[in-house]
Each structure stands twice: as structure tokens, then as C-alpha cells.
Amino acid sequence: MSLTMGGGPFAHDASAAVNYRIESPHHSLFMHAFPRRVRAELGGETVLDSRNGMLLHETSLLPQLYVPTEDIRGELLTPSDRTTHCPYKGDASYRHLRVGERVAENAVWSYPDPAREAGWLSGYSAMYWNAADAWYDEDEPVRGHLRDPYHRVDARPASVLVRISYGDTLIARSARPELLSETGLPNRYYLPPNDVRRELLVPSRTRTLCPYKGRATYWTLRLQDREIEDVAWSYDEPLKDARDVRGHFCFLHDDLTATAERA
């Protein structure tokens, strides 16, 4: 969650409960050093390797890694006709990335002559996450995108009685949920599997990937007369920040009723 999103200091909905005033444009840019080595691979070759990356936070966008242009293997890049214009950063030029028979079109972009307010982008290039087969933060595989150092995920046991129901049908009841807090998002209750009526749930086809929590499996509510898709999700193999909710179920759907009563 970027500093420019979810109530962060540079977001549209930034808190007014401060003792300072930030004079900033409607659309904010904030760039700072990323503290670790980052690598990207395509077709079995390392195509990007940088210890001098910068993370760009931009209003309503996920942070984007920029690296010194020389940290991307220039011999693998060919010019592209594609150009785009950003009123805040300037005109971007693109290059294709080729490794053997593998080609990632318009994979890399840069601002050769950036806007005056973003002059620090000069000499840096960025690469789309999906242009590579794999990314590494030091030696750890990156899931989805780099984790923002200003983003936190914390789980705590809570003394709350949580009930989840559909109409008169009780789906789950737990007095020992984990309360998960995540930067810029509402708190969520995760319920132990033994407190969930598992016979009412079947895995759906939906899968999502969170760089902070891991890959989520979604669940469909199956009743005698109907099915309601994606009423809950769980993390069977969560990343380290979400280990306390391993195998737990989090319910969220407009057709469900959820109550939480403090003990």
C-alpha cells in the first residue's frame, strides 16, 4: 500500500489530523531508495540486476521500481515505436526485451527528458512485472510485485464472538478469531477451520495473489437450492507476515450477515 493510497500522507484522502501542512499537487510523486538487491529473469537469463533501485510512489498507483538504465542488459533491448505521455512525468519511450526466441514487447520504459518536476527520473528505467518469468528481492522470489516498506500486515488473536450466516443458515461461529490488520484496508476476522461448517463450502476457481499474504483460495457456499461464489478466502501457504492466519477463513460477501460481539 503506497504512501499515496489508502489514507497515506500523500493520498487524496490523507488525514487532516496532523500538525503540518503539505503543499503538494493533486497528483503526487514520491521516490525513495529501495534498500535491497532486485533481479529479474526471462528465458533463464538475468535481464535486470540492481542494488540501486528506487521505488516511485504515485497517487492511486502501486509503487513502481525504477533502476539505473545500465542495470538492465542493454544488449537484450531493441527500440519500440510505442510512446506514452504522463502529464506529471513526461513522455515515455519503450523498448522490447528479447532473450533467444522469447520477446517481451514494450517491456521497459524510461523518460529521456522527464518533466521538470520529475527530473530525478532521468537515467532510470522501469520494467513491467509481467515481462519477466521471475523476480527476486535479494534471494526471495517476489509474489506479484515488490513489497512496499510502508505496508504492514499484522494478525492478533481477538476476544470476539464472530458469527457468519446466510439467512437462517449459520455458516461459521468462532470465539477465537485472528484479527488481521493491513495498511490502508479494513480489519478482517479470520476464523479457524474447525469453527467453520466446511461441508457447506467448496473451492471456487478464483485465485488471487497478494505480495504480503500470499496466494488465496476462494470458496463457494453450496446450499441445497443455490450456490454463492467466492464468499470466503483462505491462505494455505501464507507468506511470513500472514502465518498466523494459515488455513483460516475470511468471509466477505454482500449476501452474508457477519456479526462480531466483544467478550
Model confidence pLDDT, tens digit, residues 216-236: 999 999 999 999 999 999 999
Q: What is the pLDDT of residue 262?
A: 86
SS3 70: helix
The answer to whether the predicted template modeling score (pTM) of the entire model surpasses 0.85 is no
**Residue pointed to by grid coordinates 521500481:** 65
> In whole angstroms, what is the distance from residue 250 CA to residue 204 CA?
14
Cell of 246: 494459515
* φ, ψ at 236 (rounded to 5°): -75, -35
Q: What is the pLDDT of residue 25?
A: 58
Instruction: Give the least confident one: 23-37, 209-223, 236-250.
Output: 23-37
- The answer to whether the CB of 176 falls within 8 A of the CB of 189 is no
22 — pLDDT class (breaks 50, 70, 90): low
**59, amino acid identity:** T
- The answer to whether the CB of 54 falls within 8 A of the CB of 162 is no
Average pLDDT over residues 161-189: 96
pLDDT of 16 higher than 80: no
Average pLDDT over residues 49-71: 94
Instruction: Give the least confident one: 101-105, 116-120, 142-146.
Output: 142-146
Beta bridge partners of 209: 215
Q: Which domains does the chain have, with CATH numbers?
A: 29-141 (2.170.150.40), 153-262 (2.170.150.40)
Opening angle at CA 19, ends 16 and 25, nearest 5: 55
Beta bridge partners of 46: 41
pLDDT of 96 higher than 80: yes
- Length of the chain, please? 263
- More confidently predicted of 183 and 193: 193
- More confidently predicted of 13 and 255: 255
Opening angle at CA 182, ends 176 and 186, nearest 5: 75
Radius of gyration of the chain (CA): 22
HSE (CB half, 13 Å, CA atoms) of 205?
0
167 — pLDDT class (breaks 50, 70, 90): very high
Q: What is the pLDDT of residue 2?
A: 62
Handedness of CA 102, 62, 187, 240 (dihedral sign): positive
Q: How does the average pLDDT of the chain come out, rounded?
A: 93
Instruction: Give the least confident one: 3-7, 59-63, 232-236.
Output: 3-7
